[in-house]
A and B are shown apart, each in its own frame.
Chain A
Amino acid sequence: MTPELGDVLLEVRDLSVEFPTPDGVVHAVDGLSFSVRRGETLGIVGESGSGKSVTNLALLGLIRGARISGEAIFKGRDLLSLSGDELRRIRGKEIAMIFQDPFASLHPMYRVGDQLVEAIRVHEKLPAKQAEERVVELLAAVGIPRPRERFRDYPHQFSGGMRQRAMIAMALLNNPDILIADEPSTALDVTVQAQILELIDRVKREFDIGVILITHDLGVVAEVAQTVMVMYAGRSMELGSRREVFGTPLHPYTWGLLESIPHVDQKVSRLVPIEGSPPSLIHVPPGCPFHPRCPHRFTPCDKERPEFRDRGGGHPEACHLSADDRVRLRAERRARLMKVAV
């Protein structure tokens, strides 16, 4: 891992989340392990329904009707075994969360400033005046002009980018250790997206926190994450530093993801989609969940589930392919891609 990262803030081990439904049990998250350090941005990437959001909602106790197992050690305590009330005191104070759609994330009928003040006063008995001062300070810190006036505005008077800035300010009010950002830029214009990502990166450094960034957009991860976890069907396919995952990706699913995004600077005339669609989480394919869509599947793939482990090099993944095969197959794919370009 990159050396400048600080102490481990959150250590998740073997996290599983299941939803019993009338149609069967939905295996939303299955055996997930990862950690977040101070100063680190962990990017969690995957298609819709791959369990990215559920993972983080489960950590904070924000989903109902689910069976959750595993461990999530935060400051010596297991988040998953805390009572609702204990977890509530951590939410918004030590672990804060922002969401995808800033248009819907703020209550339309309360002033933005009041909603932020509320976030302070849930956790701290602070006089209203002081709480207001801190909110104005934070609004200024996230780049909202004339924060004292905007304090009295309603959400609909804010633009999308401003609302997301306000959400980030809200998340930072109580000096958290971890910020979970669930698709924070997806609903915004491209230029605003970049600003928001930059802001998250800046507050990560200024506030010295760890960030979990959930996104379906590999480009976003490439820009701001130090560590990347690739998820598929509720499982971790690959976990490594940004350089490892983008430079020497080990899992065929990651290969597919990388080949399916456009690059401005690469001569690729055609994007290669991953054939098929993600599996039902009620009937997850046996063996490797990706095998029905994997062009490199062989004998054990549809029977044995590949273990998610480090096969040397500190870059754990879950695939049956041997190291040599991977190098060969990846080279072949790249050659084919280039031929298409010519």
Chain B
Amino acid sequence: MAAYIVRRLFWAAFVVLVVTMLTFLIFYVMPPGNPAIRFAGKAPTAETIAAVEERFGLDKPWYEQYGIFVKKLVTGDEWGWPGFGFSYDTRVAVRDELIERMPRTIFLAVGAAVAWVIVGVTIGVISAIKRGSLLDRLSMGFALFGVSAPVFWLGLVALFLFADTGGGPEWLQFLPGTGYVPFSDSPKAWFLHLILPCLVLALLYAAFYARMTRGNLIETMGEDYIRTARAKGLSERKVIAKHGLRASLTPVVTMFGMDVALLIGGAVITETVFNWQGVGSWVIRATFDSNLPVVVAVVLVGAVAVAVFSLIVDIVYAYLDPRVRYQ
């Protein structure tokens, strides 16, 4: 197992390198415009552009720039380790801003993940057990709504209805509006500010997980070993909880790991709607601005998150499904 994990970690490092290199390539082979011109001030002269290019390191060929990037990443730069360079935009170290923004995105992703797993799996299980009932139809109606409603629209509606800055009925406005409050400032405000964006983000996933859980459980309940469990004389509750869920939730674990990993790379729309200064809203602006160091840093964080989570998922899966363990 240890050898397997080490092998996987090397592989993950390789994948991360390839992903960052591709990001470099995309920005240099298909440039949306010379970033140096953008950041050289109004009416730049050829000299200022050249100066900015030199300052940004853009005068060198892309592979040399990539080499410098990797070297700084591994050994650190003047702002510390890992070295991500500075943002073209603010001329502040990307590393520092990343450290500031990362927790916000992680809180958002984890909060949403907890909500959607609880809500989605519960609805899915109830729906599967009461298949065909009114409850099932309502649940699946909710799921259809959740899957189809665009997040930006949901976010705005939620803000209108529930936020004290919105225009909804007054008795509903018990939550604060947009923005993020650090935990160290006020744990209560931190938590209250987290609720709406987490729930809005969770809704889409909850709907998706409800459908997946329902489908998996219905399929599992038709398996022969469920019939065996019933033939043993187990109560239906036990048949579902111990035999049905065990088999039907295993694939959900895989999905869950990947979904959380992707969100660590930024929940772009939710962050934008809720003015949430996380990595998602950051990277989207950086992309429009050709702010390469920021884009590469966030892509790298996302790639690392996906690689690490997929490793965790594989290890957890081996514990959940013995058939995988022995292969």
Contact = CB atoms under 8 A, between A and B. Distances in A.
A104 B224 contact: yes
Contact of A107 (B233, B235, B243, B320): B243
Contact of A122 (B225, B233, B321): B233
- Give the size category of B's interface with A: 20 to 34
A45 B211 CA distance: 41
A104 B231 contact: no
A91 B225 contact: no
A76 B234 CA distance: 23
B326 A97 contact: no
Nearest to B228: A105
Given A156-B323, A156-B326, A157-B326, A106 B233 contact: no
A85 B223 CA distance: 22
A60 B231 contact: yes
B79 to A, nearest CB: 49
Interface residues on A, range: 20 to 34
B233 A109 contact: no
Nearest to B321: A109
Interface in A97-141: 97, 99, 101, 104-110, 118-119, 122-123
Interface string A55-76: 0000010100000000000000
Interface in B244-296: 246-247, 250
Contacts of B320: 109
B243 A122 contact: no
Contact of B228 (A60, A90, A106, A156): A106
Nearest to A101: B224
Nearest to A111: B322
Given A119-B232, A122-B233, A109 B322 contact: yes
A208 B322 CA distance: 37
B229 interface: yes
Contact of A99 (B227, B233, B235, B243): B227
A108 B247 contact: yes
B326 A92 contact: no
A220 interface: no
A318 interface: no
Interface in B69-108: none
B320 to A, nearest CB: 7
Q: Which 5 A-B pairs have the closest CB atoms?
A: A92-B233, A104-B224, A92-B232, A91-B233, A107-B225
17 contacts: A60-B231, A62-B230, A62-B231, A88-B235, A91-B230, A91-B231, A92-B232, A93-B233, A99-B224, A99-B227, A108-B225, A108-B247, A109-B246, A118-B232, A118-B234, A122-B232, A122-B234
Interface of B: 223-225, 227-235, 243, 246-247, 250, 320-323, 326
Given A89-B233, A91-B231, A156-B322, 4 more contacts: A90-B233, A104-B223, A108-B247, A122-B232
